[in-house]
Every structure is written in structure tokens, then in C-alpha cells.
Amino acid sequence: MIRAFAASGLGDRGWKYLIAGTGPLEAELKMLAGKALGKTVHLLGFQQPADNLALMAHAEAMVLPSRFEPHGIVVGEALAAGTPVLLSDIVGAATGWSHPASAA
């Protein structure tokens, strides 16, 4: 998603890409963000659930491009906040349109 965000030019048009959470890929995400880190791409780290809901309520969209996600409770949380979601077909909570994870 960082690559797609950078390629889209959305950062140049004032959009921000926020990533909440922590995990073993954090260093790779920082590397992918490059010079955009802290400017248009922000790694927020762990967020309390109430803070996640506030972030989602202000978002234009929530993306969950998982390659492994048995359920993905965050999908329901984003929808409850009124935020549209884009997710891979691997996410257990996926219904309707989905993007094959193998193409990511």
C-alpha cells in the first residue's frame, strides 16, 4: 500500500497515509516510506481501540491488504465508523468485492 500510495501521487495532493499498529515488518515499512515518512506516510504504532475508531471516523478509506487474516475485526470497526474499506479476499470478514491477496 505504501508503494501504491507513493505511485498515485496522493501525498503530493495533500493526502496522508496512516498506519496504526506494530509488528515485525515495521523496519521494512519505514524503508518503503523513505522520504515520505513523517510527512505523508505516518507509522502511528500501537493505538488503543477507542483511538482507532476516531482515526477511522476521519479517514477517507481503510485498507486491509492482508495475506493472512482469519477474521479482521477492524473491518467491522471501520464500517461502524462510516469508513469504506478495501481488503483482500484473505480477510475472513470480507464480503462483497475483494482484491486477491496473491496479486498484492
pLDDT digits (tens, 9 = 90+) for 47-70: 998 888 889 889 999 998 888 888
CA 38, chain centre distance (Å): 16
Residues 38 and 13 in one domain: yes
Q: What is the pLDDT of residue 9?
A: 95
Residues 1 and 39 in one domain: yes
- Cβ contact 91:69 at 8 Å: yes
Residue 66 C-alpha cell reads as 492482508
Domain count, the chain: 2
CA distance 23 to 78: 21
Residue 6 lies in a domain: yes
Residue 54 lies in a domain: no
Q: Which residues in 16-34 are b (16+ Cβ under 10 Å) and which e?
A: ebebbeeeeeeeeeeebbe
Range of the domain at 41: 1-46
Residue with cell 516510506: 33
Residues 41 and 64 in one domain: no
What is the value of pTM for the model shown?
0.78
CA distance 40 to 29: 13
Residue 87 lies in a domain: yes
Residue 52 lies in a domain: no
Residue 55 lies in a domain: no
Q: What is the pLDDT of residue 67?
A: 84
CA distance 67 to 100: 9
Residues 7 and 41 in one domain: yes
- Cβ contact 72:64 at 8 Å: yes
Q: What is the mean pLDDT of residues 24-49?
A: 95
